[in-house]
């Protein structure tokens, strides 16, 4: 990379349950990438969707990361403590006519063909309540992924004025994640391939906010069956906190890396994993079926 800014990566789980093998891939992949480049690695808890959260999950995730020897730099950032920042940004976007209220129902959007057509943004008398949508001036339809090359999405999806605050008052993931990546000065986002498409929307927001986008690197997803990633929603088993050695090696194998010698002190395993980490060996497909 010709970029001379110091590398800053991150792992950003939502506290909807304990870490499972799928989230371990994202954690370890982002950690190894950052450390192998001599960079910093930050942790952010994405806790802005209370209905999906489980009490105690944040602490459990952090305890698990520590048990796996993945020690983060700086303090953990909690999105729930940043709501004022999100709201201020939304106020500014509304004030500059870069966002608007929308009252369209799901049914109405379905009748538009499934993609929102921007009708509330052209009203002579704008709504004063409802969901808030961005004026998607940039309509980003493709980007470069560090692992997968050019990623292109459907033009209609790319152009859509997407929601940045829901009608129920919850802040949308797209807005929060971009504001936090700016705040934490993230230079590269390493995460699962389920977030490939939303990346275009996030780049649109970076442009609208006049901030440089980080680089993007999307890892393969661990799937129990085709099209179904391991997730808290489908009850993926929590990874072993007491004996992490086997899971670390399984995750390394998944990421195309050589296994390391099992050690009681897992930080020694990670030192070895960092020194031999080879990005070019990470599989480029979006999904890998686990053989169980």
**Closest to Zn ion by CB, 82 or 127:** 127
Q: How far is the CB of 131 from Zn ion (least distance, A)?
A: 8
Q: How far is the CB of 120 from Zn ion (least distance, A)?
A: 3
Q: Is the dihedral of CA 52, 53, 54, 55 positive or negative?
A: negative
Q: How far is the CB of 130 from Zn ion (least distance, A)?
A: 7
Task: Calculate the CA dihedral of residues 219, 222, 226, 230 and round it to 10 degrees.
Answer: -120
The first and second tokens of residue 239, run together, are 């990874």
- Residue partners of 128: CB distance under 8 A and separation at least 6: 101
Q: Hunting for tokens 């792992």 — which residue is that?
A: 11
Q: Is 35 helix (H, G, I), strand (E, B) or coil?
A: helix
DSSP 266: H
Q: How far is the CB of 127 from Zn ion (least distance, A)?
A: 8
Q: How far is the CB of 204 from Zn ion (least distance, A)?
A: 18
- Residue partners of 271: CB distance under 8 A and separation at least 6: none
Q: How far is the CB of 134 from Zn ion (least distance, A)?
A: 13
**Closest to Zn ion by CB, 38 or 169:** 169
Q: Which of 53, 29, 16 has the alpha carbon at shortest distance from 231? A: 16
Q: Is the dihedral of CA 238, 17, 219, 216 positive or negative?
A: negative
**Helices of type H across 226-286:** 245-254, 266-275
**Closest to Zn ion by CB, 102 or 190:** 102
**Closest to Zn ion by CB, 101 or 206:** 101
**Closest to Zn ion by CB, 99 or 120:** 120
**Closest to Zn ion by CB, 120 or 151:** 120
Residues that bind Zn ion (CB under 5 A): 102, 104, 120
């Amino acid at each position: 990379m010709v970029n001379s800014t110091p590398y800053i990566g991150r792992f950003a789980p939502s506290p909807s349950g304990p870490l499972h093998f799928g989230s371990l891939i994202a954690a370890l992949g982002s950690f190894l990438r950052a450390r192998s480049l001599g960079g910093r690695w930050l942790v952010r808890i994405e806790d802005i969707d209370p209905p999906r959260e489980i009490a105690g999950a944040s602490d459990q995730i952090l305890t698990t990361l520590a048990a796996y020897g993945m020690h983060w730099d700086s303090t953990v950032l909690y999105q729930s403590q940043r709501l004022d920042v999100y709201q201020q940004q939304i106020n500014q976007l509304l004030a500059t006519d870069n966002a608007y209220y929308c009252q369209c129902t799901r049914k109405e959007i379905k009748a538009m063909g499934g993609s929102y057509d921007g009708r509330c943004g052209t009203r002579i008398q704008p709504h004063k309540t409802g969901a808030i949508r961005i004026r998607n001036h940039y309509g980003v339809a493709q980007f470069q992924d560090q692992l997968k090359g050019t990623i292109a999405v459907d033009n209609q999806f790319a152009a859509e004025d997407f929601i940045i605050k829901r009608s129920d008052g919850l802040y949308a993931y797209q807005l929060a994640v971009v504001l936090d990546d700016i705040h934490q000065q993230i230079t590269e986002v390493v995460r699962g391939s389920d977030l490939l498409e939303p990346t275009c929307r996030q780049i649109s927001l970076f442009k609208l906010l006049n901030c440089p986008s980080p680089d993007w690197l999307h890892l393969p997803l661990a799937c129990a069956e085709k099209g179904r990633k391991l997730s808290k929603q489908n009850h993926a088993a929590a990874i072993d906190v007491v004996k992490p050695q086997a899971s670390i090696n399984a995750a390394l194998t998944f990421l195309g890396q050589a296994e390391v010698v099992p050690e009681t002190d897992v930080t020694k395993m990670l030192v070895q994993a960092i020194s031999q980490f080879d990005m070019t060996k990470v599989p480029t497909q979006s999904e890998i079926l686990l053989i169980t």
